[in-house]
Structure 1
Amino acid sequence: IVANAEDMLDIMVNAGYNGCLGVIINASNFSPDFFVLKTGVAGEILQKFSNYRMKLAIVGDFSEIENKSLRDFIRESNERGIVCFVESLEMALTKLSK
């Protein structure tokens, strides 16, 4: 479970060491706090990817999210392209290859 920015940084370092330019993670591998924006966990994690110029694709079903702030956050992230929220592994691979 990715509970904080330090957990994600460990993953990023390992991925970078192995020559990866991006990371794909299933949404279920994040702690619930990631999806509660006021905790700041998502912002810290996304900032790491921006700082290190590495892409992140989070795979899950985000269609039923009722929280407007979280929906806006997902939409804005998808528009920027460093971090994207997608429905499938295939979509994640496509996004990361751009």
Structure 2
Amino acid sequence: MTINIVKENNIKIAIVNSQEVIIKDVQSALDFMMTMLYKTGCDRIIINKEAICEDFFDLKTKIAGEILQKFVNYQVKIAIVGDFSKYSSKSLKDFIYESNNGNHFFFLPDELTAVRKLSSF
């Protein structure tokens, strides 16, 4: 796992890249969020899609909603970056659309777009 910190519009954002799955369930998401807050002081995080378990993208598991709620509760904004086109579920596409129109949780194609989004409010 690598962590880089960027500053855009006077906002610090942690960019996390991992080839291993970091977020497997609600507890690992909470541990990850608290570690990022402690280690970086950033309440805005970008993480690559590969660092999140595949069950997250199956809304029937309810993992995505539970994790989203933790980030909202702790007022931490997160952007997941990657290619989401392989997912054909209409409910997941709707979830991604709704998330991208909110202000806490985003699904974006790349880090640059994520930095711009997380630093815009």
TM-score by length of 1: 0.94
SS of structure 1 residue aligned to 2:101: helix
Aligned to 2:69: 47
Find out whether 1:9 has 2:30 as its counterpart.
Answer: yes
| Aligned-partner Cα distance in 1 for 2:61–2:87 | 17
Letter in 2 for 1:22: R
CA RMSD of aligned residues (A): 1.0
How many residues align structurally? 98
CA distance in 2, matches of 1:77, 1:51: 15
Higher RCO (C-alpha under 8 Å, 6+ residues apart): 1
User: After the TM superposition, which residues 2-81 of structure 1 pair with which residues of structure 2 at under 5 Å, given as runs?
Assistant: 2-17=23-38, 18-81=40-103
CA distance in 2, matches of 1:92, 1:71: 18
Q: Quick check: 1:82 aligned with 2:107?
A: no
Q: TM-score under structure 2 normalisation?
A: 0.77
Name stretches of at least 5 consecutive residues in structure 1 with no aligned partner. none
Alpha-carbon distance, 1:69 to partner? 0.2
The CA deviation at 1:95 is 1.2
Q: Give the number of the structure whose residues are more often helix, by fraction.
A: 1
Q: How far is the alpha carbon of 1:63 from its aligned partner?
A: 3.1
**Structure 2: 5+ residue stretches without partners:** 1-20
- Distance across 1 between alignment mates of 2:119 and 2:111: 12
**1:96 Cα offset (Å):** 1.1
Higher strand share: 2
